[in-house]
Structure 1
Amino acid sequence: MATKIICLITTIDDVYDLYGTMEEIELFTDFVDRWDINEIDKLPQNIKTCLLAMYNTSNEIGYWTLKERRFNIIPYLSEAWADLCKAYLKEAKWYYGGYKPTLEEYLENAKVSIAAPLMLLCSYFLTTDKITKEALDHLDELPSIMRSASLLLRLANDLGTSSDELARGDILKAVQCYMNETGASEEVAREYINNLVHEIWKKINRDMLNHCPFSEPFLSANPNIARTAQCFYQYGDGHGVPDSWTKDHLISLLVQPIALN
């Protein structure tokens, strides 16, 4: 189920970045925000298919969770999708309007648009035997550990992909936001972002030791999503354009046996 969500996120991100007009993605966002597909025929076929896939997959996860965990998660899942689509829409408006956000403004939106909050929410639903309102209220506030994991995923992605994405046509990423804001060179900006990554890792490590109403499997998912990001984007865009470095790295990690002598 988590794999389906990630595939949908990647596809819908491309709808906002590449395939949808401003009018279409505004309609898409409105439908998701209202969780209503009654007027879906206003969208072109390809975008309509994406919306239906998101809607049906979310309801499938909701049905499974209601049956296995006896808790209706649809209100929380639909809200997370709406937050993500609103963040995508804001970035699209920045791009079409030629707006250049500050680094702080960019990261405030990017911690949602990177989709980690949605992925981690699904992780909570799928790994927690007893879902509690206390935990859900805490999740709704985007606790520090989730915020830090989201920022690390965003920054690792930006360090590995920003040059290619800008060449294709996209908003400024973290490196370029810092350059535009301070007048720094790209080398200095990358050094600043790498230092920021280092400081955020310290926060994650502290947060792992703090008391919060989550089980260990969900807590571990937060640093793990950050580790995965740094693995995929260590040598460039290992997700969108996987090269030999990324493939060799993953094969070494997941397939090849570890020598014991």
Structure 2
Amino acid sequence: MDFNMMQCIYHEEILQVFKCWKELGLSEELKLARNQPPKWYIWSVTMVTNPTMSRQRIEITKPISLVYFVDDIFDVYGTLDELILFTKAINRWEVTDKLPSYMKMCFKVIHDTTHEISNIVYQEFGWNPIDHLKKAKQSGLLLRIHQRAEEYLKNGIISSGIPMVLTNLFFLLGYGESTGTTDIESIISSVAAILRFLDDLGTAEDEGQEGNDGAYMEYYMKEQQGWSLSDGRQHVLDKVSKEWKLLNKHCLSPTTIPTSFKTACLNVARLVPMMYAYNDNHRLPVLEEYVKFMFSNIKEDLMW
């Protein structure tokens, strides 16, 4: 009965997510952009498990979709000159006529979504997190030009999208500036590192992308002498294990982190392996079966 009840809730929410994504108009502006609302929504379902928090799940799906869209811009579509202009526009929080039309539209969606979420938080909880949300989006846009592994990792953690999404979620859950920040930044960093490492291991050719933004293992192996591919892979897995220990410490030890936010971070890290378990056809068979099970009465051609 509980499952049937939640499935009905999820069905209503995913239809709303489809509607919101269509209204944004990004997939029509750039036809080749990944158009996978169910995949983005699975992140939201995993983060926010409370049945009463439909609005939070729907709203957090919006910045998640922007992570994928901006990732496509940086990895596939944007030229270096365009990416420099786009990054400057976000940092200044104002659009420029020099941007191509799809970047202008993307900036508008980022701008409008940020203010929309800020208004929701203000209306429900009485404070406006706009400055924090703007900063999260600005810091998440980094040109991916690296020389050393640690430099790549530091920037890759920020540009993974995890800090931006979890910052949005933190405020949507009703937590404010008075909540301690050091522990929160640390747990977010561990989740982002887990995603970055596993993303780099499994998706160099993710869904037709060329992998031109490099990978941690690639940079690290260049700095070593005589390392095999298996040595590099084991090194990355050891780094993942270290981050999981830090994440478990945050979840099992007394900290200033609110319990619901701890759970959200933990669940995101748990979901990462399934999100990057690509097969030889660049598909996610485990995820696809899971989504079909959850949304069995939605047409398959709407799903992927």
1:53-97 Cα shifts (integer Å, max 9, x gaps): 111111111111111111111100000111011x2x1x0xx2xxx
Change in CA separation of 1:57 and 1:234 when aligned onto 2, cut-off 3 Å:
same
Pairing of 1:185-224 with structure 2 (within 5 A): 185-224=228-267
Residue of structure 1 equivalent to 2:106: 50
In 1, Cα distance between the equivalents of 2:112 and 2:280? 30
Aligned match for 1:225, one of 268, 276, 290: 268
Alpha carbon RMSD of aligned pairs, Å? 2.5
Contact persistence 1:161–1:236 (CA under 8 A): no
In 1, Cα distance between the equivalents of 2:72 and 2:195? 18
Identity over aligned residues, as a percent?
A: 30
In 2, Cα distance between the equivalents of 1:163 and 1:187? 19
Residue of structure 1 equivalent to 2:117: 61
Aligned match for 1:242, one of 270, 283, 287: 283
Q: Tell me the SS of whatever aligns to 2:113.
A: helix
In 2, Cα distance between the equivalents of 1:145 and 1:169? 27
Pairing of 1:68-217 with structure 2 (within 5 A): 68-85=124-141, 87=142, 89=143, 91=144, 94=145, 99=146, 101-128=147-174, 131-135=175-179, 138=181, 143-162=185-204, 168-183=210-225, 184-217=227-260
Change in CA separation of 1:148 and 1:36 when aligned onto 2, cut-off 3 Å:
same
Residue of structure 2 equivalent to 1:8: 66
1:133-154 Cα shifts (integer Å, max 9, x gaps): 232x616x86221111110011
In the TM superposition, what is the alpha-carbon distance from 1:169 to its structure 2 partner?
A: 4.5
In the TM superposition, what is the alpha-carbon distance from 1:162 to its structure 2 partner?
A: 2.3
Q: What is the one-letter code of the residue matched to 2:85? A: L
1:155-181 Cα shifts (integer Å, max 9, x gaps): 111111125589715132022122211
In 1, Cα distance between the equivalents of 2:247 and 2:200? 19
Q: What is the one-letter code of the residue matched to 2:240? A: V
Gaps of 5+ in 2: 1-58, 297-304
Q: What is the one-letter code of the residue matched to 1:162? A: A
In 1, Cα distance between the equivalents of 2:280 and 2:193? 17
In the TM superposition, what is the alpha-carbon distance from 1:186 to its structure 2 partner?
A: 1.3
TM-score (norm 2): 0.71
Change in CA separation of 1:54 and 1:167 when aligned onto 2, cut-off 3 Å:
closer
Q: What is the one-letter code of the residue matched to 2:128? A: N
TM-score (norm 1): 0.81
1:187-239 Cα shifts (integer Å, max 9, x gaps): 1111111122112111110111333333211111111111111121134599x
Residue of structure 2 equivalent to 1:259: none
Equivalenced residues, count: 237
Contact persistence 2:205–2:211 (CA under 8 A): no
1:1-60 Cα shifts (integer Å, max 9, x gaps): 1111111111112112222222222221122112223xx322111111111111111111
In 2, Cα distance between the equivalents of 1:109 and 1:60? 27
Contact persistence 1:17–1:170 (CA under 8 A): yes
Contact persistence 1:145–1:222 (CA under 8 A): yes
